[in-house]
Structure 1
Amino acid sequence: MAMNPETAKYMLALDDDIQHLWKALEHHSNAAEHRERAREWREKSQKLDDQIKSYRSELASNIKNLNDENARYINVVAVIGYAAYFATWSLAKDSLGKEVTAFVGLMGMISVSTFVLWEMFIIMKVRLKTVGELGHIFQSLVSVEDFEPLRLEQTQGEAKRVIALSAAHRVVFLLSLLTACAGGFAMMHKLYMSL
């Protein structure tokens, strides 16, 4: 796994400085002390790089888990909402009139279609790609030493895909919500007026 570019740049600059220092201090009695300090700096640099990798991995895992939990919650709420919407619509068709019935049905279908198409897109773009990556790791018979870096790379890739699609997800969710609300409000208004 590649080292963080900033850490690598820092380590190269530090190594150059250390080499110049060795040349200047080679004949001095405190060269051993300087070598020890250089070793400490290398260890600190490696520790920083390991911490950065750990934070990135944890953040990617948190993003993935949060996205999965949100998707489950939204799907449950959507199923309940659409069931209530279409049940009310089917029971109230006779009271709504031809135009309002068609409008409410159209808004519901646009909302459901948008939601379902988005979910199918997410399955194809994110979830199946993740399954394919995991399958490739499994089929490649990756060694135990190489598994963790590959797993971290896969998790970070999935988190990047989720982040990249989050703006589009908001737009799709808003469109689906607005069309369902438009149909729902039209239905409620007509039913209220028929009381």
Structure 2
Amino acid sequence: MTTTLPRPYTRKRVDMVVLGASAGGIDALMVLLHDLPTGWRLPMTVVLHLPENHDSHLAEIFAQRLPIPVHEAADKMPIAVGTLYFAPPGYHLSIERERCFSLSCEAPVLFSRPSIDVLMASAADAYGPALAGFLLTGANDDGAEGLYRIHLAGGLTAVQDPKEALISIMPNAALARHAPDHVLPLRELRALLLQLEAAHAH
């Protein structure tokens, strides 16, 4: 586990980044994804805990602020390069081995639907070592098991430094489950994300 980012970052190619957050997650994602460079090619998928009975406007909010396409994921939607996807409220979001999305109405996991664990575990099955998982601020244990599944599949795991997180329960739960590759503040997680994109592009 490293708490400072290696420079230059060297690792085999990553083809997908999955991100999970809960309380404080919108602001954290704004910092992490701010002003992405043009020509961005690495797809990213986010589960952010939201009330089930409200429409989500996350895709619209982030589309206004980012220079890449942003969509709410839909069932059977193929994953495109250089695109940011958000899980819709009230559904679990999975990634199939064919690199498309799947939605389900199965029971909540750790009181959450969509569940970060469900997204991360399915993405680990689909991408194996070509996956990176980022877990940010949040107020429950969702994501700890999913991040561990990414670790077991050979992927990269990164957790927001609990000392910086608005709510540290989620990062601390991940640290209790396994020792991730990186525990970093948001600005260094952003540097890591940029390095993953640079490796993906070559």
Give the structure-1-normalised TM-score.
0.23
More helix per residue? 1
The structure with the larger Rg is 1
Q: Give TM-score, length-normalised by structure 2.
A: 0.22
Taking CA–CA contacts closer than 8 Å with sequence separation of 6 or more, which of the two structures ends up with the larger relative contact order? 1
Higher strand proportion (structure 1 or 2)? 2
